[in-house]
Structure 1
Amino acid sequence: MIVPRPEPMVLGFLMLPGFPMSCLTSAIEPLRVANEIAGRRVFDWRLLSLDGAPVASSARVSVAADAAATDGPVPGMLFVLSGADPTPDAASAVLRRLSRHGVTVGAISGGIFPLARAGVLRGKRVSVHWCYRTAFAAEFPDVLCSDELIERDGACLTASGAAAGFDLMLHLVRDHLGAAIATETACWFQHPQVRGPGARQQVPAAQTDALEATMPEPVRDAIAILQAHLDDPIQIAEVAARLRLSQRQLERRFKSVTGQSPSSYYRLLRMRAARQLVRFSARSIPDIAHEVGCSSPSHLSRLYRSVFGRTPQDERRTPPSFMAAAEAEGPIRS
């Protein structure tokens, strides 16, 4: 008796205007290669748009859709691809309907914004790219932000960026085809380490070529304390006391690692958070000033200009694409 092969697992990718194309290709390519290694079509995918028309990505390349999100069979799993731009009402309606019908919904990078705006992430733990974290947490206080690369909370899957989306697809390959094929798929792309649960995002240290996670312990711990006090300014002397160091010891260690004083680094952290709110939220400039511990909007503007060479108002007049936001934080000045 011939046993029919199971139908392929169908994943839908809902592309919204300005979506990062790297997230789409990083998700589809490992599925394609896994099919090739397995010798059969285990995974299939449908590219969806709100109206079935092509969608322009953040790279200004238009991608053709297979169908409108409301047409044809409902995929068993749907991933939203988007930047942090305002979400069309039609997208929110589609996402709420699919979630009610038991579709496993997820997002890669900025796709968490439309999901949260549709109300399907309340109380859930989601992976938030570090370049969006401040703005996302401010807009959605009822969603639990995670620094991990991948999060699965019930029927919700989220990945913090394109590379994390690649890892997420490798997990699906492993679940359906086994670890050997998942590893071989990863090695096709010279991606030999499949990052699993608990792997955390790497965050660049401000104005250095290092990562925060690789800093020596006292400096890393000091940065964590400063990061926790963006809206509630803390004195450097208090940070040093918490670490059982003298202020001079802390300043010397900070300078040797970052080339900056702790107070200068603190200013950069606060302005990096302010930039996220300016770029990716609708918060007013006075509210943003309060969020990052500035005494007034003019105080914020002075600090912002000293770091980025432009005021928050100037920044808002030229909203960035996803790729510009995900790069190192622009021209930073000491």
Structure 2
Amino acid sequence: MSQKATQTADASDTKSRRFVFVLLENFTLLSFASALDCLRLANRHMGRDYYVWRLVGENGETISCSTMTTFKLDGNLEELHRDDTVILCGGIEIQKATTKKLLNWVRREARKGLRIGGLCTAAYVMARAGLLDGKKATIHWENQDSFMEEFEQVNLSKSVFSIDGNRMTTAGGTSSIDLFLQLIADDLGEEVANWVADQQIYSSIRTDQDAQRLSVPTRIGVRHPKLSMVIQMMETNIEEPISPSILAKEVGLSTRQLERLFRRYLNRSPKRYYMELRLQKARNLLMQTDMSVINVALACGFASPSHFSKCYRAHYETTPYRERGSHATRLSI
């Protein structure tokens, strides 16, 4: 162990750090398990229970994750100690899991000055509770569009995790490992954190500067620099779409050359590809927010609800209204 790690461990010989994991209905198992395993391995390296943890939830008895596996809880939303660290574990259908009881509890514990983190989509809970106002945070890329629309006061990043004071958020999946390796390094030194990563066969430790999504060339399976540049411009200009002629000019191509490029590599026109990106964002907003259909249309670059509805039906074979209605029905079951 490094001198820093030895000093930190010696100074904490008589005291453990306690993490309280708040498991929300349909939480993502991978995010939770990744975090917990980091603590377990750190304890193994230290030869004692430097970290201890407790699993809690609203009913205090059992909770199911997104794989439908049931976990036995240690307790309910109880009063915590001032030096506890709260980790909210989110997943799918986070709006449904964000209850009034949970929000009141989170706000109460936050007033004590506790360190609070959110895994996967749990940044939504933190934002609803007002814990992220004016702070930097992140959330799973699939939820970013809806999050930005609802919480303009949060400085949302696309990084794998974010730490801003005593607030922590992750993008989900294996990003929990990156966050907890950072916490372990802060507590026990980088040598301990690196040992934990080696035990997990985790060879590429990411920082809060690393993006959560694959690069455009990797995602589309094509390594063509000009095509990647155009797609990147499309993805960052959804609300005010750019015409194909301007996109082509920006990368030094003619409109016809751009058409051929998209047809060759993506089997669709630039206009069609752009429309699919906009409709995908629209579907996310319909599913994840309470925005009106007309506001969803405007946020995705459609001038009128009728045009939006026509395009949506052509692509998804249903209307925006029916899509939202069927989703609401599924949530209520």
Q: Which 4+ runs in 1 deviate beyond 6 A?
A: none
Aligned partners of 1:5, 1:230: CA distance in 2, in Å? 54
Q: Give 1:224 shift.
A: 2.4
Query: What TM-score, normalized by structure 2, do the two folds share?
Result: 0.86
Deviations 1:60-112 (A, max 9, x none): 22222212222453552112112432421111111112222111111111101
Report the counterpart of residue 130 of structure 2 in structure 1: 119
Aligned partners of 1:4, 1:241: CA distance in 2, in Å? 61
1:62 and 2:70 matched: yes
Report the counterpart of residue 307 of structure 2 in structure 1: 299
Which structure features the higher share of helix residues?
Answer: 2
Contact 2:79-2:109 at 8 Å conserved across structures: no
Contact 1:116-1:122 at 8 Å conserved across structures: yes
SS of the equivalent of 1:121 reads coil
Report the counterpart of residue 230 of structure 2 in structure 1: 222
Q: Give 1:156 shift.
A: 1.0
SS of the equivalent of 2:131 reads coil
Q: Give 1:59 shift.
A: 2.3
What is the correspondence of 1:122-161 to structure 2 with a 5 Å cutoff? 122-161=133-172
Aligned partners of 2:200, 2:285: CA distance in 1, in Å? 35
SS of the equivalent of 1:132 reads helix
SS of the equivalent of 2:252 reads coil
What is the correspondence of 1:18-97 to structure 2 with a 5 Å cutoff? 18-71=26-79, 73-74=81-82, 76-83=84-91, 84-86=94-96, 87-97=98-108
Contact 2:80-2:109 at 8 Å conserved across structures: no
Query: What TM-score, normalized by structure 1, do the two folds share?
Result: 0.86
Aligned partners of 2:218, 2:109: CA distance in 1, in Å? 42
Contact 2:20-2:85 at 8 Å conserved across structures: yes
> Aligned pair in 2 of structure 1 residues 188, 223: CA closer, same or farther (>3 Å)?
same
Q: Give 1:6 shift.
A: 3.3
Moved more, 235-244 or 256-265: 256-265
Contact 1:151-1:158 at 8 Å conserved across structures: yes
Aligned partners of 1:32, 1:166: CA distance in 2, in Å? 12
Letter paired with 1:164: S
> Aligned pair in 2 of structure 1 residues 4, 217: CA closer, same or farther (>3 Å)?
closer
What percentage of residue pairs aligned between the two structures are identical?
28
Aligned partners of 1:167, 1:214: CA distance in 2, in Å? 28
Report the counterpart of residue 5 of structure 2 in structure 1: none
SS of the equivalent of 1:218 reads helix
| RMSD over aligned Cα atoms | 2.5
Which residue of 190, 202, 205 corresponds with 2:201? Answer: 190
Which residue of 260, 275, 286 corresponds with 1:267? Answer: 275
Letter paired with 1:85: Q
Aligned partners of 1:77, 1:212: CA distance in 2, in Å? 39
SS of the equivalent of 1:222 reads helix
SS of the equivalent of 2:284 reads helix
> Aligned pair in 2 of structure 1 residues 318, 63: CA closer, same or farther (>3 Å)?
farther
Report the counterpart of residue 104 of structure 1 in structure 2: 115
Q: Which structure 1 segments of 5+ residues have no match?
A: 321-334
Letter paired with 1:188: Q
Q: How many residues align?
A: 316
Aligned partners of 2:58, 2:321: CA distance in 1, in Å? 32
Report the counterpart of residue 254 of structure 1 in structure 2: 262
Aligned partners of 2:112, 2:80: CA distance in 1, in Å? 14
Letter paired with 2:201: Q
